[in-house]
Each structure stands twice: as structure tokens, then as C-alpha cells.
Structure 1
Amino acid sequence: MDKSNFIDYIKIFCKSGHGGAGSKHFMRNKLTAFGGPDGGDGGRGAHIILKGNSQLWTLLHLRYYKNVIAEDGENGSKNNSTGRFGKDIIIEVPLGTVARDEETGEINAEILEDGQEIILMPGGRGGLGNSNFATPTNQAPEHAQPGEPGVEGFKILELKVLADVGLVGFPNAGKSTLLSVITAAKPKIADYAFTTLIPQLGMVEYRDGKSFCIADLPGIIEGAAEGKGLGYRFLRHIERNAVLLFLIPADSKDHRKEFDILLNELKEYNPEMLQKDFLIAISKSDMLDDELKTAIEKELPENIPHVFISSVTQQGLMQLKDMLWQLLNKKA
């Protein structure tokens, strides 16, 4: 997907419909000069609804859809006729979309399943007609309720990529190359920093027809949690990955330091990310002999599993898949 077509952040103005007013009406016809109250209720104002669509991968279709104004409900009328409800507006979004209130930052909705619907902005309730207020002591009520107003405000829609495994590493760590080898994805690959500017998803085929989803995410740099590089645009996509695969190249000057920097950026952005399952993969391992591998192993954290791989020679890739599958399914 071209970077210009990948939109993962949109601000839209939403206004739900006002409820219709209840009717203050009394039955009048050629046979009845002074009938009782027959004012109907007002119709509900239209909701603004978010709906999950698994066929969407970006918020691009909302780029020019900045003002969402829903329809008001109709007023009630005579003969106890309820006013027509406003026609709800349904906004389809990709799975993984979060809606926030721009002013408070509060999460209003989170879409995780295909077909899931959540009311983002409820329409105002219709007012009750005067027929609802008739009592034995007040058989001709002269009042009806006005409809409730709708609600309005700016909403932020953020897309957080849904994938089982997230690839984490510095630019040029070999993430795109690995994704192209173990999946059918075709990310852009080049020998310069920030080749990947948007998340790339691919399905990894495992044993016995099983599979899992892996995401190549734009490279972290030191200070990403403070907004440097691609900053928050990158880091928010890791929040939903069940397992984080740290990719560290074999030719790194200090493997442990590189891992610690990556880990610190995640911690600075959201400490809850440290609760995820981690796996370290040393890429470009075809250039290493057993002695060098032993030396690198001594640098790595003892409590985090690791594997040596090479995307070029496909060394260790099946072992990598096995380890990822075990992490993804250990709770089950």
C-alpha cells in the first residue's frame, strides 16, 4: 500500500440529530368537538455509529469526510402518531480503530471485530406527546415535551494495526527483508533508513495449515517516545501486538545496548507494553561462526528467548516460527 494511501489518524466533527418535539394536540373531527389528547411522541434523533469492516485497512476513505451531521427526528403529530426517527449515519472503519474525544482524550469506542457496531454520538430522545400526561384529574393536559438535543464535538479516529506479532527494531535491522521471506507481503526494501514508512502486514504460514499475522513496523530511533523520527505514529501500532519480536542485526556494535534502547522507548511510551511476550532474533547471522554466536549470547538478557536467523539463507526461520507460535498459544 502506498504511503499516501495509508491514513491512520483522522479528526472529524460529529453532530447527532435532535429529538423531535412531542405534539400537543386534541382529537377534533366532525363527530368529536372536544376529544381527549392525542398528541404523538417525537422521533429520536439520528445516531452516529462506528462499524467494523475487515475489508478496510486504512482511514483513507474518511480523509474528506470531515463533517458528519446526522438527521433530526420528526415532531410528533395528531392521532398519537410518533414522528419519524432520524436516519442513523454508519461510519465504517478498519478493525483496530479507536475513537477519542478531542477535548478530554477519553476513549469513546474501540472497534475490534467485523460487523461490530458502537454508537459514537447518540441522537437526542424524542419528546413525549400530551397524550402521555393525561390523568384522571387532568384529562386535557396542555403540555408536551420538547425533544432532547443531540450532541456534537470533534472526534479523533486512530487506527492501531491488529497483528499477532510486531517486528521491532532500528531502521535497517532487516525487518522488511524478514517479512518478505516468511510471508507473501512485498514491502519496499532498500539500504537506507526509514524504508518502511507505514505498517506492513503479512500472514505467516505455519504447520498443518495454521497461520498468524505479523506486522513490519517503521523503525524506532532513540527518542521515538518523545516524537522523534516517526514517534507516536509508529509506537501506537505496537499496542495490540501479543508478541514483540526484537530484530537486532548481527553486525550491531552493541547488541545489548540496542535492545535496551528499544525497550526503553516502549517503556517511555506506555509501561504496559513491558507486560507483552518478547523474543529476540539476531538477523544476518549467516556471517557469524559459533564463537561469535556464543559471544553475542552472553550480551543478551537471560530471561528473554533468542534465536539466530538469516533471511538470505533462511537459517533459523522455522525455529523462529516455532518459538513465535509457542508464545502466541502458551496461555491457550
Structure 2
Amino acid sequence: MTEGNFVDYVKVSLSSGKGGKGSTHLHREKYITKGGPDGGDGGRGGHIIFRGNKNLWTLVHFKFKKHFKAGHGENGSKNRSSGGDGDDVYVDVPLGTIIRDAESNEILLEITEDGEEKMVMEGGMGGRGNWHFRTATNQTPRYAQPGVSGQEREVILELKVLADVGLVGFPNAGKSTLLSVITSAKPKIADYEFTTLKPNLGIVEYRDFQSFVMADIPGIIEGAAEGKGLGHYFLRHIERNATLLFLIPADSNDISKEYEILLDELRRYNPELLDKDRLVAISKSDMLDEELMDEMRVELDKDFSSVPYMFISSVAQQGIQELKDRLWAMLNDSPD
């Protein structure tokens, strides 16, 4: 999937169907010239229903279709025949999609499971026919209810990527390189900041044909929680990750400080993110010799006393299998 096809935010217009009119028919047949009321009810208007689809990964299909309109209910007819219901419209969305009201920004519903169906707008109720309004004093009512109008609303669809592991780090920390090595994904890689502008997903193949999903999230900068840089655009994707993998390059001026800045941005955006399992990977460690690595371990053991860390190199393929083992253990709550 190319970066341009990753769409995770879109506005669409929805219209539910109008209910059909009730009938005002009076019964007529041979030898019965003045029968009573027998007008049927109108059918209900079609609903707008959102449905989870595990085969969808982005909202790109909404770039070409942004208006959804359900069918109108049919009018009632004679012999107390009800009109047919309007056709419901099913809108398929990827798992992890939030539907918000465009005007109030209120969250209307959330789709997280395959095949899950949730109605966001009901169709209008069909009007009742004149058969319902007969009384002892008015045996031939010549009126019926009109159908209730459908609803119209604009909603915002917002996708939060569903992944087991989310890569967190500053721009140009080597996240895309790691993803390209550890999975079959082909993210854009270059030697400048903000190469990645959209989240990239990759499937990590593990032992015995097992696997887990890793997401490369665009780089964090200071002030991201307030919307600086790519801001909230990417921070929302981290909310759905079970484990956070912090990637800090070995040539960083201060590894501990970088980690604290990243952690603070997550804390300011959503304190609940700090409850997730965390692992720190010191990337580009092929630049370090064993002696320098031992010196760094002395400092890191003090600073990362409560968070596990490890040295890796995506280019030199150092520590990659150990990283997979550690992540798999964290995802499966293994003591190892």
C-alpha cells in the first residue's frame, strides 16, 4: 500500500430514508359499495448502518464516495397492505474506526470487530393508514399519517490503527528502516526528518508460523501533544497499540532525555498511554564497539531501571531476533 493511499480521516454525508405514507383507502368490491377503511401503513425508511470489515485497512475508498442515502419507505395501499421498507445502506469501515458528529465532534460509535454492525441513523417511521383511526363516531376516516422524514447528518470517520506494537521515536530515528527489516512492509526511507507522513503497517513473522502487527508512527517532536508538527494526526494511532517500542538512535546526544521527552508527550496527550508495556531499543548500535556499549549500559541501567532496553541495528541485523522474542513475550505476558 502506498503512502498516498493511506487515508485515516474523512468527512461523509449521510441521509436515512423517509417513511412511506399511510393509505386513506376505503374498502370497495362488488356488492359492497360502502366498505370501511382499509388503508395500510407506510413502510419505514432505510437505516444507515456501519459495519466492520477486517479486509479494509484505510478509509481510502471514501475518497470517491462521500454521500450515502438510504431508500425511502413505500406508501401503504388497500386491503391493509403495508408498504415495503426502504433499503438499508451498509457502510463498510476498517476495524478501529470512530464515527463523530461533524458539527458537535461527539463520538457517535466505534467499530472494533469484524462483522460488527452499528446503526448511526434510523430511517423515518412509516405513517399509519386510516384503518387505525376508525371509531364508533367516525367509521370512515379519510385521513392517514404521512411518513416521518429521514435524517441528514455529516459525520467524520477517524481511523486509529490497530496494531500490536507501535514504534515511537523522534523523526529520523530509524523506525521505517526497522519496519522494513523486521516485516515485509516497504515504507519510504530517506536521510531527512518526516520521511514518514502516514502510519505504515507490517506483519512480523515469528516462530512456528505465528505473527504480530507492527505500526511505524510518524515521528514525534516536542509539543506534539499540542498539535505541533504532525501533532494529534499520529498520536491517536498509538492509543490502539498493546505495546510501545521506543526507538532512540545510539548517536543521540542524551538517550535518557530523548526518552523522557517522548514519554512526556504521550503523558500530555493521554496519560493512559503510560499504562502500556514499554520497551526501549537503542538503534544504529552498529556504530558502537563493545567497550563503548558497556560504558553506556552503566548509565542506562540507572536511567532505565523500570523499563527494559536493548541495543539493535536494523542495517547490520544485530539484535533483531532478540527484539522479536522480547516483543512476543510482552504481547503474550510471558515471564521470559
TM over 0.5: yes
Aligned to 1:44: 44
How far 1:64 sits from its partner (Å)?
3.5
Matched, 1:277 2:277: yes
How far 1:316 sits from its partner (Å)?
1.9
Which segments of 5 or more consecutive residues in structure 1 lack a partner in the other structure?
Answer: none
Letter in 2 for 1:28: R
Contact 1:100 1:108 in 2 (8 A): yes
Contact 1:255 1:296 in 2 (8 A): no
Aligned to 2:236: 236
Q: Deviation digits for residues 164-209 of structure 1, max 9, x if unmatched? A: 1100000111111111111111111111111111111111111221
Q: Deviation digits for residues 129-148 of structure 1, max 9, x if unmatched? A: 23234467765445433322
The counterpart of 2:306, out of the listed 303, 306, 311, is 303
Letter in 2 for 1:309: I
Contact 2:223 2:265 in 1 (8 A): yes
Which segments of 5 or more consecutive residues in structure 2 lack a partner in the other structure?
Answer: none
Contact 1:255 1:300 in 2 (8 A): no
Secondary structure at the aligned position of 1:153 is classed as strand
Aligned to 2:253: 253
Contact 1:255 1:299 in 2 (8 A): no
What does residue range 13-92 of structure 1 map to in structure 2 within 5 Å? Answer: 13-92=13-92
Q: How many residues align?
A: 332
Contact 1:256 1:299 in 2 (8 A): no
How far 1:239 sits from its partner (Å)?
1.2
How far 1:91 sits from its partner (Å)?
1.9
Aligned to 1:151: 151
How far 1:65 sits from its partner (Å)?
2.4
How far 1:315 sits from its partner (Å)?
2.1
Aligned to 2:226: 226
Q: Deviation digits for residues 274-315 of structure 1, max 9, x if unmatched? A: 221111111122233242332342353321122221112222
Distance in 1 (alpha carbons) for counterparts of 2:236 and 2:45: 35
Distance in 2 (alpha carbons) for counterparts of 1:323 and 1:34: 85
Contact 1:20 1:75 in 2 (8 A): yes
Could you tell me the TM-score, scaled by structure 2's length? 0.92
Contact 2:256 2:300 in 1 (8 A): no
Q: Deviation digits for residues 232-288 of structure 1, max 9, x if unmatched? A: 111111111111111111111111111111111112222221221111111122233
Distance in 1 (alpha carbons) for counterparts of 2:135 and 2:213: 64
Deviates more, 1:321-330 or 1:169-178: 321-330
